[in-house]
Amino acid sequence: MLKRALGKSGLEVTTIGLGCMGMSRSYGSTDREACLSLLREAADAGINFFDTAEVYGPFDNEELLGEALAEVRAKVLIATKFGFQIDPTRKPSVTGLNSRPEHIRKTCEASLKRLRTDVIDLFYQHRVDPAVPIEDVAGAVADLIKEGKVRHFGLSEAGASTIRRAHAVQPVTAVQSEYSLWEREPEAAIFSTLEELGIGFVAYSPLGRGFLTGAVNLETTFEAGDARNANPRFAAENRKQNIALVEAVSAIATERGVTSSQLAIAWVLAQKPWIVPIPGTKRSERLRENMAAAQIQLTADELGRIAELIQSFVIVGNRYAPSAMAMLDK
């Protein structure tokens, strides 16, 4: 696999990483043994960047990665996240945000145990906590870095002002936010700040939660418990309009001789040399398909056509339900 540097931090990761959330939550039923096998396959195939979080499950996803990657730990980089208050005795188990320094330390220790490691390569604040100054958050992670328990500090779904304030206390290695052909807000909101400060960008959901693959149509239904059932962009009335973008992207992909998924990932890679997408999957064939996108170099003409295309479409519906939208930092 080709590699990219996440900004100027010195952290080099494979051009495409693996988002692991769907192996434990949000996208229907999972087979633990199959997921263990897929994680090992990804590492054997050359992927060295794996993304998880304590809240995925909760806790199950970190434990899954800890077991799957134990034998190759020295060869891979694991990113995980803190920032939620979790009560495993109730459902739903997430009761709010919590980025108090003492909670960050507690979360770090628990994540280290679940991941079966002595250091976290990249430790993100999962969502900005308005009750805790970001300077205190950055300071807490800085202490963990000094102690050798964390290597790099990251933020997820943070706005430009928050990024600057955090970076002034502890250099931010990467910001992770949703970014794809149908979610381009980071271009206007934070890309210039990241470029100025030398911070990398990790794009989650580069395939639009499966929508941009072309596998979702007007008749598609999702399992009970699948988060897309509550996602406004997947609602029947919005899907009718949004699917037109997928059809247009698919036509360009067919011309190029690649899949819609590969075109979508290649487009993300073409935007900036410091962007790393982390598409998720539970299937071996999809893993290989996504990895192959790293080899696709879109031409200036193709990028121009795609730019005109996405400018001509209006995506309908927020990317999260209202409660989750309220947690996004601006």
Catalytic residues: 56
Assign 272 to helix, strand or coil: coil
CA 323 from chain centre, in angstroms, equals 19
Q: CA–CA separation, 122 vs 160, rounded Å? A: 20
DSSP 6: -
Place of tokens 């990219």: 4
In sequence order, the 6+-apart residues with CB closer than 8 A to the CB of 312 are: none
Joined together, the tokens standing for residue 188 give 């206007």
Q: CA–CA separation, 15 vs 249, rounded Å? A: 22
Joined together, the tokens standing for residue 236 give 């029947």
* DSSP alpha helix (H) spans, the chain: 32-45, 60-69, 101-115, 134-146, 160-169, 185-189, 191-197, 236-256, 260-271, 284-292, 300-312, 322-325
Q: CA–CA separation, 84 vs 101, rounded Å? A: 12
> Where is 12: in which H helix or E strand?
strand 12-14
Contact 152, 174 (CB under 8 A): yes
Q: CA–CA separation, 66 vs 70, rounded Å? A: 6
